[in-house]
Structure 1
Amino acid sequence: MLVENTIHDQAWGTSGYNGLLSIKEEFDVDVYFKEEIQTQQEVNQSVEEFANKGVNLIFGHSSLYGKMFENISSAYPDIHFVYFNGGYQDSNLTSLNFNSHAMGFFGGMVAGKMTTTNQVGIIAAYEWQPEIEGFYEGVSYQNPDANVQMNFVNNWDDEERALQLFEQMNEKNVDVYYPAGDSFSVSIINKIEELDKYAIGFVSDQSNLNEQKVLTSTVQHVDKLYLNAAEKFNDGELTGGVFTYDFQDEVISLGKFSPDLPNDFVKELENEVDAYIETGLLPNER
């Protein structure tokens, strides 16, 4: 596994590492990982090192690796390359994509329900993240009176910049936040705990940080996709291509619910998720 930043972010990177460990346990194989791999040269060197160890399945834990893998995949016909959230593909190159719009929508519904100031804040890494649009729509659906403030760090891990944006939003009376980034989601949740506000967790179930103040989390079960891909590879069924996964595939879910959420709302939300799984339509589409 190649990781763009770190496996210690308690979000995206950690989820990938857990997936790698699940493969090790399930198939009793040697696994390796490298952190801070961000350039084509670093990818080339890492892949060559892995190949010399007999590795035949490589995960690039980011959309960053799609083009880089495409550039070298033909030189390694005995290795299958897998990466996330992109459009590049080849006979031995597979892209696994999370359809994260719906998870954002349901997280937004929770935020819209629980804001008392009608000020909800999104602090995201990038504007293009599909969950951001979904979250905005979910807040508006649940609470048309709520105003959604949003700002972008333009980096998955710039904690300093994210905390600056948090302070700006805090001054504007935001009381529910969606920190949609890797390392900085934990930092913001820690600040929220200090100030008695609420958060929606990102990528992993972050209720372990504060089960009361983390209302729920928009969870991508990356570890399940890792194991699924390895099982297909082991059975000779992993093909090149672009594949998309959502709630229906049991690799996206909401995390644990805070005890502060009203029970009747939790039941309503769970019914909405079930209806989405059955119909493929969000509440505002039905």
Structure 2
Amino acid sequence: MFKKVLALSVVFAFIFMVVFAAAPEATSAQDTRVGIVLSTGGLGDLSFNDAAYRGLQRAESELGIEFDYIEPADPAEDETALRRFAERGYDLVIGVGFQMSDSLEIVAMDYPHVNFAHVDEAFPDILDNVVSLNFAEWEGSFLAGALAALVSETNNVGYVGGVDFALIHRFEGGFYQGAKYINPDIEVQIRYADDFGDPARGREIALGMYDNGADVIYHAAGGTGTGVFEAAEEEDRYAIGVDSNQNHVAPGHVIASMLKRVDNAVYETVESVVDGTYEGGQNLYFTLADKGVGITDLEELAVEEIQAYEEGIISEEELEIIREMKEELTAPHAEKIAEIEEMIINGEIEVDNWGEIGRPDEL
């Protein structure tokens, strides 16, 4: 009898080991290492690089992970930077920006047992160890265009893009359609800077647009966009920020920002690695419906604006300027923008994705 019990115990032990060996493995949060390779413009762009970094800071604080980052001086260095993290066995390697998609795919193929995440480019044939984080920028930008048209007194608004590429056309298309939805006769000036890290170029383009009658300019140009804000201050006009809450960059002149919650997407991906639910081979999309994109609060001070004051980035007087601007300029349009947002979510308004269908021939 003893021998039978012993034999059964051995069999059950073997089955137990097989089953649990096959189950997804969660990593200890304290032992989880994440490496991120930032896009052109790097930290301090007040845009999507900073947003991705905030997501990792939150994961470090709340999950206890460790992370490191690399800011390549040139896109040609992306592959080397990604490979550096993969070779060292990081639990998750993240690449930021559409310009990095080819490099990340090459490295991911060479390291099939390393988890990868990519921000801003869907892969036609995505690898099993890659998850792609994408956003419906055209939906959020539609709200920005509608707000610009509602605020404009000259019926003339502008859009400054970083690089003339399909991804950036998503922002342009949404903004254009949103402005035209409010006022079909509004003029929409469009220019591309061909750079994500050239504030001087952004300022030059914006000044030209203001000279040509625009009184509100939206940018999707990374660090180049800070030049748009400088021009808005100089000319006492308005601008709309992108990706992160940029309202505090030029208090009283940045009337709102189109939010692209890269921080949340990055955090959730890290969390999936920690708890063992990471699942590669997916192109994920974050939309208005799930708060993946949106627009900053048009009526009340936002958390980020208050934080900017508490951290000494802006003064109490500048915080008050932002509050007064919202009260006088954007709050009167909050209900209309909320109505448009709901109509997009429920399908009453269909926003074309110019990144897929292309820009209209007349532009």
- Relative to the length of structure 2, the TM-score reads 0.73
Determine which of 109, 113, 117 is the counterpart of 1:78: 113
Equivalent residues of 1:2, 1:37 under 8 A apart: no
Q: CA deviation at 1:158?
A: 2.1
Instruction: Please give the secondary structure, in 2, of the residue aligned with 1:207.
Output: coil
The reply to whether residue 95 of structure 1 matches residue 132 of structure 2 is yes
Residue in 1 that maps onto 2:349 = 282
Distance in 2 (CA, whole Å) between partners of 1:113 and 1:162 is 24
Instruction: Please give the secondary structure, in 1, of the residue aligned with 2:157.
Output: strand
Residue in 2 that maps onto 1:252 = 293
Distance in 2 (CA, whole Å) between partners of 1:143 and 1:149 is 14
Q: Which runs of structure 2 are paired with 1:134-283 in the superposition (5 Å)?
A: 134-234=174-274, 235-257=276-298, 258-261=326-329, 263-277=331-345, 279-282=346-349
Residue in 2 that maps onto 1:126 = 163
Residue in 2 that maps onto 1:19 = 55
Distance in 2 (CA, whole Å) between partners of 1:125 and 1:22 is 28
Equivalent residues of 1:141, 1:284 under 8 A apart: no
Equivalent residues of 1:24, 1:30 under 8 A apart: yes
Letter in 1 for 2:338: E
Distance in 2 (CA, whole Å) between partners of 1:169 and 1:2 is 34
Letter in 2 for 1:33: Y
Structure 1, residues 239-285: CA drift from partner, whole Å, max 9, x if none? 222111111122211013233325442112112213323x1442789
Q: Which runs of 5+ in 1 are unaligned?
A: none
Equivalent residues of 2:286, 2:292 under 8 A apart: yes
Cα distance change, pair 47–147 in 1 and its aligned pair in 2 (3 A):
closer
Residue in 2 that maps onto 1:105 = 142
Structure 1, residues 12-45: CA drift from partner, whole Å, max 9, x if none? 21111111211212221210000026446x3443
Letter in 2 for 1:34: I
Instruction: Please give the secondary structure, in 1, of the residue aligned with 2:329.
Output: coil
How many residues are treated as equivalent by the alignment? 283
Q: Percent identity?
A: 23
Instruction: Please give the secondary structure, in 2, of the residue aligned with 1:117.
Output: coil
Q: Which runs of structure 2 are paired with 1:40-59 in the superposition (5 Å)?
A: 42-59=77-94
Structure with the bigger percentage of helix? 2
Q: Which runs of 5+ in 2 are unaligned?
A: 1-35, 299-325, 353-363
Letter in 1 for 2:52: G
Deviates more, 1:49-58 or 1:74-83: 49-58
Residue in 2 that maps onto 1:117 = 154
Letter in 2 for 1:61: V
- Relative to the length of structure 1, the TM-score reads 0.91
Equivalent residues of 1:82, 1:95 under 8 A apart: yes
Distance in 2 (CA, whole Å) between partners of 1:281 and 1:37 is 44
Equivalent residues of 1:85, 1:97 under 8 A apart: yes
Structure showing greater radius of gyration is 2
Distance in 2 (CA, whole Å) between partners of 1:131 and 1:37 is 25
Distance in 2 (CA, whole Å) between partners of 1:112 and 1:16 is 30
Cα distance change, pair 28–175 in 1 and its aligned pair in 2 (3 A):
same
